[in-house]
């Protein structure tokens, strides 16, 4: 069963005025690890997720996107301690594409990842659990491919996706100066344990 995968990042004594630099560093790390260099969209949420956004802008994919600093600066013009600042950026992973034959053809497909920076009072201090910055990778299917037979090529592609995930997590931690990070899933299951079981089943 697929799950939603997150990366949470925390920073010691982070002041709201410093959130923009951290977000820019995180978004800027994607380009070197299978992601796009530009931000696709930004949304600013007031108080809690159930409220309508106070700002939304879609720049577009590729060259149409905003440079990370430009996108962050524009969204954080509305800087409040009970707001959350969400950015979408493209990130590509290996995924199977079923063709006419029985064996899937593996291609790199882009997905939109959400990077959210939390004001300290948003959702009654959600940052304490979710991180000052949370990266939402979406479904964990590309890191497990539980619906496929785990042959040699599938195992190789899944391993490449996992290596890319681990490299990106390390890069955003280092670039933004995070002192704690946690890779976690919505259902609370360990990706590492599920992956070990999955790859072991293919041997």
Q: What is the pLDDT of residues 61-86, one digit of tens each?
A: 989 999 999 999 999 999 999 999 99
Reported for 62-66, long-range contacts at CB under 8 A and 24+ positions apart, including other chains, are 62/36, 62/38, 63/38, 64/38, 65/36, 65/37, 65/38, 65/39, 65/40, 65/89, 65/90, 66/38, 66/39, 66/42
92 has a pLDDT exceeding 90: yes
Domain definitions of the chain by residue range: 4-201
How many CB atoms lie under 10 A from the CB of residue 99? Answer: 9
Average pLDDT (118-145) is 94
Q: Which residues contact 74 (CB under 8 A, 6 or more apart)?
A: 42, 57, 66
| Cα end-to-end distance, the chain, whole Å | 21
* DSSP code, position 179: S
31 has a pLDDT exceeding 70: yes
Decide: pTM greater than 0.75. yes
pLDDT score for 149: 81
Q: What is the pLDDT of residues 82-91, one digit of tens each?
A: 999 999 999 9
In angstroms, rounded to a whole number, what is the distance separating the alpha carbons of residues 168 and 29?
7
Q: Which of 35-44, 161-170, 186-195 has the lowest mean pLDDT?
A: 186-195
């Amino acid at each position: 069963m697929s799950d939603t995968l997150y990366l949470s990042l925390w920073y010691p004594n982070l002041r709201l005025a410093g959130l923009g630099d951290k977000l820019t560093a995180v978004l800027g790390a994607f380009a070197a690890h299978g992601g796009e260099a530009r931000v696709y969209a930004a949304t600013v949420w007031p108080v809690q997720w159930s409220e309508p956004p106070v700002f939304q802008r879609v720049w577009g994919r590729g060259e149409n996107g905003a440079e990370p600093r430009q996108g962050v600066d524009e969204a954080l013009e509305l800087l409040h301690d009970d707001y959350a600042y969400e950015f979408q950026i493209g990130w590509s992973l290996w995924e199977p594409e079923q063709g006419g034959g029985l064996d899937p053809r593996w291609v790199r497909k882009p997905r939109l990842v959400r990077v959210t920076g939390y004001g300290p009072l948003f959702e009654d201090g959600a940052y304490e659990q979710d991180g000052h910055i949370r990266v939402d990778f979406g479904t964990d299917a590309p890191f497990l491919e539980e619906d496929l037979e785990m042959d040699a090529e599938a195992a190789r592609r899944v391993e490449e996706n996992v290596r890319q995930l681990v490299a990106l997590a390390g890069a955003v931690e280092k670039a933004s100066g995070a002192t704690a990070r946690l890779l976690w899933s919505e259902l609370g299951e360990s990706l590492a344990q599920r992956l070990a079981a999955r790859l072991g089943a293919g041997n």
